[in-house]
Amino acid sequence: MNKNIITIAIALVALVVGAGIGYGASNGGSSAAQQTVTKTTTLGASVSTTTVISTVTSLREGAALVTYSGSGDGSSSAFTATTSSVYIKTQVTTSDPSLSLVSWYIYPVGSAVYAANGDVNGQSGSFNFTGYGLTVGSDYYVMVISANANWQITVTGLS
């Protein structure tokens, strides 16, 4: 009895220029990646291979909308969303990472429902997040809840 054996192998290879896909690049920069997808199909003794190469350009990081730093809990001043997607750079320093927590939330002014959030739990260093779905032209603020850490959060628009 002959059986058809189908093998599909997909390989993704990214050659990153700049900061990387989905995280923007330095102010005003862009990043691009080349993606190669190879599909090999084996049907009995017949083999066919298809390769597709495409270039993907990621979002551009704009000027800072707000930078907020401190320790403990607090809320930033309001900022106006210039794009529907934002890049959130979070820097955390602590003398004992095992006891630290920094949680941030981006709220529309006057709303009790956050638009984006993230946290750094038990770590020290720089962490990057991307938030989606903001309404262009609306005002937002960053609320931070933290323990045993100093932090700085910078929100920039992505286009």
Residue 3 reports pLDDT greater than 60: no
Q: What percent of the chain has pLDDT over 90?
A: 59
Q: Are residues 121 and 101 in the same domain?
A: yes
Q: Are 139 and 82 in contact (CB under 8 A)?
A: no
Q: Record the tokens describing residue 116, joined without a space.
A: 């984006």
Task: Specify the pairing of strand 61-71 against strand 125-131.
Answer: unpaired
**Among the listed residues 55, 61, 49, the one whose alpha carbon sits nearest the alpha carbon of residue 89:** 61
Q: What is the pLDDT of residue 112?
A: 95
Domain that holds residue 18: 12-57
* Structure confidence at residue 12 as a pLDDT band (50, 70, 90): very low
Q: Are residues 29 and 81 in the same domain?
A: no
The Cα 91–Cα 104 span in angstroms is 12
Q: Are residues 51 and 93 in the same domain?
A: no
Q: Are residues 42 and 105 in the same domain?
A: no
Give the model confidence (pLDDT) of 83-133 as tens digits.
999 999 999 999 999 999 999 999 999 999 999 999 999 999 999 999 999
Could you report how far apart the first and last alpha carbons of the chain are, in Å? 57
Q: Are residues 104 and 138 in the same domain?
A: yes
Q: Are 147 and 101 in contact (CB under 8 A)?
A: yes
Q: Which helix (H) or strand (E) holds 147?
A: strand 139-147
Would you say residue 2 lies in a domain?
A: no
Q: Are residues 75 and 114 in the same domain?
A: yes
Would you say residue 6 lies in a domain?
A: no
Would you say residue 37 lies in a domain?
A: yes
